[in-house]
Amino acid sequence: DTEVTQTPKHLVMGMTNKKSLKCEQHMGHRAMYWYKQKAKKPPELMFVYSYEKLSINESVPSRFSPECPNSSLLNLHLHALQPEDSALYLCASSLTGTGEKLFFGSGTQLSVL
Amino acid sequence: GESVGLHLPTLSVQEGDNSIINCAYSNSASDYFIWYKQESGKGPQFIIDIRSNMDKRQGQRVTVLLNKTVKHLSLQIAATQPGDSAVYFCAGDNTGGFKTIFGAGTRLFVKA
């Protein structure tokens, strides 16, 4: 299995809602990532987990809360988002995280109303 | 800080021709470079990578060239096909770090 699976594929939420994005991989990878991608722009790194510990937080607002329950799962909890947070949220994984290629999921297209 | 950028935002080629997509980087600490392809509605997909101890690497129909002197990276696609139409991103990382930083991207159009 060489896939990174993200759910849901699409999400529409209001600014007062709480929702979660989910990501799963069964490749035995020990590094997992959240990227944000706006239309016609490159992916921007948000968070990195290495061996289930948060290694990097790229100064992401606290309304985004990552969680790594185990080595195969990665969640992104969303609360009180703003319309400008509308974007494609991509999950990725890599074997250990240091200087390696990333395997991406297809993303969750998020719209905040 | 790290930045990886591209020279051209769009590239249009005739089917069967070769394509060359260029990329410049600024961080001398980067020692690992990757090209990704992103099709509409999908996440980026790995194409080929190269480490800084090499200057050329070949895959199936793709070649990556690295010129560390001028901090330049290129992706060559041989005999470009309609299925190659996508956005191509170069990305840089350094061994020991977790930050893969993406360049702006080039959209490749393949004309039949």
Q: Does pLDDT of B95 surpass 80?
A: no
- Rounded to a whole number of angstroms, the distance between the first and last alpha carbons of chain A is 36
CA distance B87 to chain A (A): 9
Mean pLDDT of chain B: 90
pLDDT band at B2 (very low <50, low <70, confident <90, very high): very low
Q: Does pLDDT of A1 surpass 80?
A: no
pLDDT band at A83 (very low <50, low <70, confident <90, very high): very high
Question: Over pLDDT 90: what percentage of chain A?
Answer: 93
Question: Over pLDDT 70: what percentage of chain B?
Answer: 91
| Residue in A closest to B103 by C-alpha | A42
Answer left, alpha or beta for residue A36, where phi above 0 means left and psi between -120 and 50 means alpha. Answer: beta
Chain B residues near residue A92 by CB distance under 8 angstroms:
43
Instruction: Look at A33-42, A58-67, B90-99 and tell me which has the smallest mean pLDDT.
Output: B90-99
Answer yes or no: do B89 and A48 touch at CB < 8 A. no
Facing B98 at nearest CB: one of A4, A44, A55: A55
Q: Does pLDDT of A61 surpass 60?
A: yes
Facing A42 at nearest CB: one of B41, B89, B95: B89
Answer left, alpha or beta for residue B82, where phi above 0 means left and psi between -120 and 50 means alpha. Answer: alpha
A50 — phi, psi (to 5°)? Answer: -125, 125
Instruction: Answer with the residue of higher pLDDT: A90 or B27.
Output: A90
Average pLDDT over residues A16-22: 95
Answer yes or no: do B43 and A92 touch at CB < 8 A. yes
Chain A residues near residue B41 by CB distance under 8 angstroms:
106
